[in-house]
Amino acid sequence: MKRYAAALLVMALLVVGCGAKDTSSGTKQEEVLTIGVMPKLVGIGFFNAAKRGIEEAGRELGVNIDYDGPTTGDVEQQSRLVDTWLAKKYNAIAIAPNDPDAIAPVLSRARSRNIKVITWDADAQKDARDWFINQATAPSVAKSLMDVMAAGAGEDAKYIIITGSLTAANQNIWMEEMEKYRQEQYPNMENLTPTPIAPGEDQARATQMAADALKTYAEVDGIFAITSVALPGAAEAVRRAGVADTVFLTGLATPNDMREYVMDDTVKRFVLWNPVDLGYLAVQASVASVRGELNAGNKSFIAGRLGKIDIEGDEILLGAPMVFDKENIGDFDF
């Protein structure tokens, strides 16, 4: 009887042992990461293109992506959404801030909870994030824009600038670098709008403000519209006014948003990088940071199909901007 009871005990222990998780074998399944990715706002062409790259990288890396953002360029909505992601304990947050200062407190809270913070498209305060995905260096963007304007409107052109928000860090840095480069290379050019026109991320408003500016600055030779909303908005104003032959318009926008204006010669040349690749790189960098593959002092890292990507300090560089025109715009779909 004792031998029978002992046998039952051994069998019970074996059953329990078979059901227990083996945490010492090294076969424990790796945690599936969740990355929160936020644009400045949802629903516009530039960020729709970036979303394609974001989702591509998520599938490739096997991570969960929560892509969400405000419907307008509202930093308060961004802050509230980041707070929600903090409560859900996401592994990383990749955000394109609408205001570098206003977003800093909530991003700092994220970092204090060991959540990696990546900024992309626009930066935040440096101590509020781990890395900035820079679509192109500010001097390279400024140089491309000013060279295109000089070639199209002349080295003594009088121009105006239409931006998005006056608090957008990337746009403000581009304009500072444009002025530096103008002084060095094109001292006879003149900026008629030391305070830029700022319609926000509202294309209809950009059209109206550009139309008003054409009346206010009758002597204008060129217009810079340096957001993906401002450029098609300004193009519509130039087209309606019938001044494409006398006012040279350039700026930053996606090929799909600008195609009709390029093909009818309203816009001859404009500048951008590939937003699909920018979104892709933001997720690649976020995951590499979480996994400890991206550390201070790195000069480069391998970012999936993009290959080797250079790093300067705490900035990860996508590459040089491109110039789009009637000859090459048909090669791109974003």
Q: Do 143 and 130 belong to one domain?
A: no
Q: Do 260 and 171 belong to one domain?
A: yes
pLDDT at residue 283, as a whole number: 98
Q: Do 44 and 109 belong to one domain?
A: yes
Q: Tally the domains of the chain.
A: 2
Across the strands, what pairs with 271?
252, 323
Q: Residue 125 burial by CB count (10 A; 0-12/13-18/19+): exposed, middle or buried?
A: middle
Cα gap 58→88, rounded to integer Å? 18
pLDDT at residue 31, as a whole number: 82
Q: Is residue 1 part of a domain?
A: no
Q: Do 261 and 290 belong to one domain?
A: no
Provide the 3-class DSSP secondary structure of residue 328: coil
Question: Which of the residue ranges 10-14, 76-80, 299-303 would you say has the lowest mean pLDDT?
Answer: 10-14
DSSP string, 51-73: HHHHHHHHHHHT-EEEE---SSS
Q: What is the mean pLDDT of the chain?
A: 91
Q: Is residue 26 part of a domain?
A: no
Say which CATH number the domain at 40 has. Answer: 3.40.50.2300
Dihedral angle of Cα 138, 171, 175, 155, to the nearest 10 degrees: 90
Tokens of 100: 């570098």
Domain termination site, one of 238, 272, 306:
272
Q: Is residue 48 part of a domain?
A: yes
Q: Is residue 249 part of a domain?
A: yes
User: Would you mind telling me the total number of residues written for the chain in this entry?
Assistant: 334
Please, which pLDDT band fits residue 64 given cuts at 50, 70 and 90? very high
Tokens of 192: 């008629």
Cα gap 174→143, rounded to integer Å? 9
Please, which pLDDT band fits residue 320 given cuts at 50, 70 and 90? confident
Tokens of 244: 């494409």
Q: Is residue 159 part of a domain?
A: yes
Q: Do 143 and 84 belong to one domain?
A: no
CA distances from 85 to 95, 264, 285, 291 (A): 12, 45, 18, 19
Tokens of 239: 């087209």
Q: Is residue 42 part of a domain?
A: yes
Summarize pLDDT for 125-139 with one digit per residue, the tens.
Answer: 999 999 999 999 999
Question: Which of the residue ranges 4-8, 21-25, 96-100, 161-165 would you say has the lowest mean pLDDT?
Answer: 21-25
Please, which pLDDT band fits residue 27 given cuts at 50, 70 and 90? very low
Q: Do 163 and 64 belong to one domain?
A: no
pTM passes above 0.85: no
Q: Do 268 and 142 belong to one domain?
A: yes
| Domain limits for position 177 | 138-272
Q: Is residue 245 part of a domain?
A: yes
Rounded to a whole number of angstroms, the distance between the first and last alpha carbons of the chain is 79
Q: Do 172 and 213 belong to one domain?
A: yes
Across the strands, what pairs with 91?
none
Cα gap 219→261, rounded to integer Å? 23
